[in-house]
């Protein structure tokens, strides 16, 4: 009975740890476009972002220099090597990164 409980606990820890993930990487922003890969119309003022693999609708918290925003994945990208996320202009303004264009930020989802 003890071994079954231990195996069950280990399995649950493995499964739940895969849901909360974090990453540090280069983040850029974009402000032009018509439709997103998810099919919705692009709104440069919304708190949205583009990621290569995360599912549409995933909430990503982006932190940069003491500021944080939560963006919803609704597009694919970025398509420039070395970048991990493109945020909308609205999210970039909230983060204070529009002057820099590309920053190294902490991401969690």
Please state, in angstroms and rounded to a whole number, the distance separating the CA atoms of residues 1 and 64.
48
Q: Which helix (H) or strand (E) holds 23?
A: strand 22-30
* Average pLDDT rounded to a whole number, residues 75-85: 97
pTM over 0.75: yes
- Cβ-defined contacts of 36-45 (< 8 Å, 24+): 36/74, 36/75, 37/74, 37/75, 37/76, 38/74, 38/75, 40/74, 42/75, 42/88, 43/88, 43/90, 44/88, 44/89, 44/90, 45/88, 45/89, 45/90
Tell me, which fold does domain 21-108 have in CATH? Barwin-like endoglucanases (2.40.40)
Domain ranges of the chain: 21-108
User: Which band of pLDDT confidence, cut at 50, 70 and 90, is reported for residue 35?
Assistant: very high
Whether the CB-CB separation of 104 and 24 falls below 8 Å is answered with yes
For the cut 50, the answer to whether the pLDDT of residue 106 exceeds it is yes
Give the pLDDT band (50/70/90) at residue 6: very low
């Amino acid at each position: 009975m003890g071994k079954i409980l231990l195996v069950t606990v280990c399995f649950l820890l493995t499964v739940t740890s895969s849901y909360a993930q974090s990453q540090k990487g280069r983040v850029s922003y974009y402000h032009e476009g018509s439709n997103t890969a998810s099919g919705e119309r692009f709104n440069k003022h919304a708190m949205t972002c583009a990621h290569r693999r995360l599912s549409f609708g995933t909430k990503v918290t982006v932190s940069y220099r003491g500021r944080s925003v939560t963006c919803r994945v609704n597009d694919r990208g970025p398509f420039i090597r070395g970048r991990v996320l493109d945020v909308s202009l609205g999210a970039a303004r909230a983060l204070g990164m529009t002057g820099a264009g590309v920053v190294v930020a902490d991401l969690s989802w």
